Amino acid sequence: MLLVSAPILGVSEKAALSKVIDSGWLTMGERVRAFEEAFATMHGADDCVAVSSCTAALHLILHALGIGPGDEVLVPSMTFVATANAVLYVGATPVFVDIESADVPLMSIVEAEARCTPRTKAVILVHFAGYLADRLEWQKFARARGLQIIEDAAHAPGLKEVGTFGAAAAFSFYGNKNMTTAEGGIVIARDPDLRERIRQARGHGMTTGTHQRLNSRTPQYDVTMLGFNYRMDEMRAAIGLVQLQNLQEWNEIRRILTVLYRRLIATKCPTVAVPFSQPRTSAHHIMPILLPRYAKRQDVIDELRTQGIQTTIHYPPVHQMTLYRERFPGTHLPLTEDFAQRELTIPLHPQITASVVEAVVSGLAIALSNCAQTGAAA
């Protein structure tokens, strides 16, 4: 089965893990610190905070900003559910905002303005598929309303523009991301005070960590704030240090494959739309396409699967999931809903070759031809 995404792991990662095991120090040590410094350097930041997941990163950012009960946070529904969940974690209310268009499935600034209230305190921008939102427009929007900008950058590691939009950015290193630590995440926050609040809250609000106390030769510590157990361990950091060395090369391969996909789809599957038709900075995390309205998506999925090609959907709209539908009944986002009904994600990762891309597009053409014939017969 050709997978939609696949981690690249090898001898270097195994060697890095072996060194951690041999060292006897398994969590929050020198490797975590080295990973934070290396990731910050790649993104032109002074420092960052490694955590256990992107979800933890989003929660910590909201918590450190003091967002809580009575506050509202603008979020897209075209995202993974963690984006909205993190808002609920701090007791605030997620307010779902429609996308700009089928071609630009990022949060609409016009719709965001319509959903602002005096209770709105922040906006979480999701760089869907790795494509960046319009920084200057969103900064202008946030300044005019006194809002904090938080970036959900789970899809966009390696881009220097990420982490410069507003208060902070949250990254993911889950197994299907452009680089992985299996589980894990990181926060870029430019303001040092905010960053240190996040760092302290990561480890139960303790004033020092175990490794720090070992080096300072004193077992004393205090707890000065409410905190969480969101630490990253040394093994994940060790993998991250290796992966980070390859991230820019892997992102470039993704870009090249995306260009090829766009050209072949335009030729062989002209009824299929590929979002982000205009040039836009991207880490090219996934390859989303929009099927024509005559095609039954499940039939396309089934046909490609018979050819050994996995597909998936990014994303089922969060506002239509049972938890959120029950909490926020009546939410209707027409563009998001239409996009989600027709979207299909096809394989994209650095282990794919040009011939594989051609095979995927050929398989897609066959599936669409079958759909057209079925529709004509009906």
Closest of 46, 172, 98, 69 to residue 338, by C-alpha: 98
Q: Which two tokens stand for residue 290?
A: 């929009």
DSSP assignment of 229-267 equals B-PPBHHHHHHHHHHHHHHHHHHHHHHHHHHHHHHHHHH
Q: Tell me the average confidence (pLDDT) per consecutive run of 10 residues in the chain, 378 residues long.
A: 96 97 91 98 98 98 98 98 98 98 98 98 98 98 98 98 98 98 97 97 85 64 93 97 98 98 98 97 98 96 97 98 97 98 98 98 96 69
Question: Active-site residue numbers?
Answer: 177
Stated as kind and residue range, the H or E segment containing 151 is strand 148-152
Best CA proximity match to 29, nearest among 227, 214, 223, 196: 214
Where helices occur in 269-353 by DSSP H, the ranges are: 297-306, 322-327, 334-342
Indicate the burial class of 325 (C-beta count within 10 angstroms; 0-12, 13-18, 19 or more): middle
Which pLDDT score, from 0 to 100, does residue 57 have? 98
Q: What CATH number does the domain located at 11-242 have?
A: 3.40.640.10
Distance CA 59, CA 64 (A): 9
User: What is the pLDDT, as a whole number, of residue 211?
Assistant: 58
**Cis ω before 261 (30° cut-off from 0):** no
What pLDDT is stored for residue 25 in this prediction? 87
In CATH, 247-377 is 1.10.8.350: no
Q: What is the pTM of this model?
A: 0.95
Q: Where are the domains of the chain?
A: 11-242, 247-377
Burial of 319 (0-12, 13-18, 19+ CB in 10 A): buried
